[in-house]
Every structure is written in structure tokens, then in C-alpha cells.
Structure 1
Amino acid sequence: MDRAPILVHRISPTGGRRVVIRIRGVDTVLGVAYSDRDLIEFLRRTDLPDPDDLVLGDSEVIAWQGGQPHIYQAGEE
């Protein structure tokens, strides 16, 4: 796999991170997450097994772009 199938983009200037999933070569925007809880809910809706473990366990199928994982607002670090 050349990139993780779930991409959490960098924090936007207004807060939150856009979440994209790649399924069968097609990128789909799931929404803007403002917390791990949002991210877990987006993944739950895609029927992925154990979305809590994927997010909270720092799975390699999630790529966090531009900054620390689990941070959704500028200045939280």
C-alpha cells in the first residue's frame, strides 16, 4: 500500500481536520473531525471493524497530515 487508506488532513485555520477515506481507489470525504470522537463516528459509519481501536490505538491505516495526531485545534499541542 503506497499510502494509508484513511487520511486526516492538517488542522484548518478555523479548527477541525478533514477526513478522507480511500476505498477501491476512490477518495471520499467523510467530514471534518473536531475530536477523536468525531473521527471514530465517521469510521463507524463506513462499517470498519473496531473504529475505536483504529483511532485510539494509533493504527497505521490512518495517516495524520501536518501535526500531531489527535490534535484538532491550533494551539492544543
Structure 2
Amino acid sequence: MTPWQAPIVVQPPAPEGGRHVTVRGRAVGLAHSDQDLTELLRRAGLGTADLTLDDPHLVEWRGAGPHVWHGAGSAGPPTRHDIP
């Protein structure tokens, strides 16, 4: 039996800022904010009406707590949020 894992995983903050996101093991993009994350999840086919980013059964935040988008030493938020 494999251990249970949240369907959404937000990786630790990248050195350049932002966090890589996977949904059910598939990479869906790099988010720089809660708004970016919500948009990535929408594009991955997840409805956001019932989605709570703080629900540990749905979202696993790795390496830093929820809503932390920049690692130590990062210059801060980028000026643009490009999501393909």
C-alpha cells in the first residue's frame, strides 16, 4: 500500500521566487502568489468554488508554509505573473 498524498503539491520556494506546483503528480506550472496558484489549478481542471488552499487534505505545502512565495534571500515578488 502506498502512503496517502494530497492531490495538490506546492514545492518549496525556488531561488528565483515562486513555487512549482503539481496536481496528481503532474507538473502544472510555477506560481508566485495565491492568485497564480488558483489560476493554475483552474487550468488543470479543478474547480475553485470548493477549494481551500489551507486544507491539508487537498494541498501539501512543502519546504515553507502556506502562502509563502519567496525563499530566504529572494528579492521579493516579481513584477509580472506569466502563466502559460
Q: Same fold (TM over 0.5)?
A: yes
| Higher helix proportion | 1
In the TM superposition, what are the counterparts of 1:33-52 in structure 2 within 5 Å?
A: 33-50=31-48
How many residues are aligned here?
70
Which structure 2 segments of 5+ residues have no match? 77-84
- The secondary structure found in structure 2 opposite 1:10 is strand
From 63, 66, 69, give the equivalent of 1:69. 66
* Separation (CA, whole Å) in 1 of partners of 2:36 and 2:20: 11
Identical-residue share of aligned pairs (%): 39
Instruction: Note the C-alpha offset of 1:65.
Output: 0.1
Contact 1:40-1:51 at 8 Å conserved across structures: no
- TM-score under structure 1 length normalisation: 0.78
* Separation (CA, whole Å) in 2 of partners of 1:51 and 1:4: 18
- Moved runs in structure 1, 4+ residues, more than 6 A? none
Go from structure 1 to structure 2 and tell me whether the alpha carbon gap of 1:21 and 1:53 turns closer, same or farther (over 3 Å shift): closer
* Separation (CA, whole Å) in 2 of partners of 1:52 and 1:39: 15
Larger Rg: 2
- TM-score under structure 2 length normalisation: 0.73
